[in-house]
Structure 1
Amino acid sequence: MIRFAKKEDGAAVAKLILVILKDMELDFLDEFGEEKALEVIAACFEDPTYRFGYARGLVEEIDGEIAGAVFGYPANKEAIIDLPLKKYLQAQGITEDIQMFIDPEAFPNEWYLDSIAVDEKFRGQGIGSKLLTAVDRLATHEGEKVIGLNVDKANPNAKRLYLRDGFQDVGEIMISGHLYDHMQRAVKGFDRS
């Protein structure tokens, strides 16, 4: 069952997000390590304005387990989505300017699909496709008519999933030293023209 994320999903969602962060080879993980990163993500998850905050995501729950999750935000909110992380780190006595993400990712005038992840034991069951279709709820809730995302050029399987769902290439972007295709599609039910 796909549902809006709740605060109590934080620990399970943090594990899914960690998989994505490891694939991106972020410096943040080198500085903090996986265990501390899980703690930080789960704590910040409780802030609805955070990039991975409960109010920005949907989860697929199967038999009481979080099988997958998807998170995103309107492009015009990109400047504030990581402030909860900064506040959390300062509360922990870390005053230096440490960022998880250093590069902008969203294109203007879109709802940006930041992250989609499926727990390894639930892969191959169509959960990623279901979550991808469900993001229209989040985008519509935010008043957006276009959904954008970035897919690593080294991940052709993910790109095929996005193409099947109607996404089209609209540009390229460099994120953390990796080249990504930026793709967009209209929110289902809206015509982009």
Structure 2
Amino acid sequence: MKISIRNARKEDAKAAVPLIMEAIGDISMQMTGETEEMKITDEFVKLFTRTDNRHSYLYTYIAEMEGKVAGVLVFYSAEQAITLDANLEEYLSNKKGIPVKIDLETLPEEWYIDTVVVDPTFRGHGIGTELLIYAEHLVKQFGGGKLSLNVETEKDAAIRLYNRLGFDTVCPWTIIGEPFHHMVKTVEAN
């Protein structure tokens, strides 16, 4: 079966948002300011269709298989993250009436894989690997540099995959109080 990867569109929200939420777990509550699943989903759809935050369709890529959304990649630079997260912090602070701070997830001058997730129906077809290779391709197009991601410390299978693809653990990381490995791969320009 053929896998194709394209830029996300606003109308991908219904299929992409539940996958992103599955991948990031409790972080979705921090990103939306909500605690109930239906409200988290509704708020995430709003964020996905906007253009000013890390979960916007503008920073999302869709893997399709058999004409369906099979996987999702959320990808941006560390420099973009500063503005995107400041916008999200302002939005959430206004919404909640108290200051909200988003945890930093990337080091300066990195290209960051925020989320890579495959629909359970399509797992086992190499889609996750293809999305990671696509992120590497994007970094090459942008002149090369460091490609990074964070992975929960107990996700051994994911860590093995990232190691196989050339990522090395460079330091421990904490997101919403949980331990992660910050992994980096240097990518040469085209």
TM bucket by the smaller chain?
A: 0.7 to 0.9
Any residues of structure 2 matched to 1:15-164 within 5 Å, and which?
15-22=18-25, 24=27, 26=29, 31-83=34-86, 85=88, 94-97=95-98, 99=100, 102-140=102-140, 142-164=142-164
Q: RMSD value over aligned CA atoms?
A: 2.6
Q: Match for 1:38: what amino acid?
A: T
Q: Percent identity?
A: 33
Structure 1's unaligned 5+ residue stretches are none
Q: CA 1:25–1:2 in structure 2 vs 1: closer, same or farther (change >3 Å)?
A: closer
Q: TM-score, normalised by structure 2?
A: 0.85
Q: CA 1:59–1:97 in structure 2 vs 1: closer, same or farther (change >3 Å)?
A: farther
Q: Assess if the C-alpha contact under 8 Å between 1:110 and 1:144 holds in 2.
A: no
Q: Assess if the C-alpha contact under 8 Å between 2:29 and 2:40 holds in 1.
A: no
How far apart, in 2, do the equivalents of 1:43 and 1:180 lie? 28
Q: Which of 43-52 and 150-159 deviates more?
A: 43-52
Q: Assess if the C-alpha contact under 8 Å between 2:6 and 2:62 holds in 1.
A: yes
Tell me the matched-pair count.
Answer: 187
Q: Match for 2:113: what amino acid?
A: L
Q: TM-score, normalised by structure 1?
A: 0.84
| 1:28 Cα offset (Å) | 6.0
Q: Match for 2:122: what amino acid?
A: F
Q: CA 1:29–1:109 in structure 2 vs 1: closer, same or farther (change >3 Å)?
A: closer
Secondary structure class of the residue paired with 1:36: helix
Equivalence for 1:183:
183
Q: Assess if the C-alpha contact under 8 Å between 1:29 and 1:37 holds in 2.
A: yes
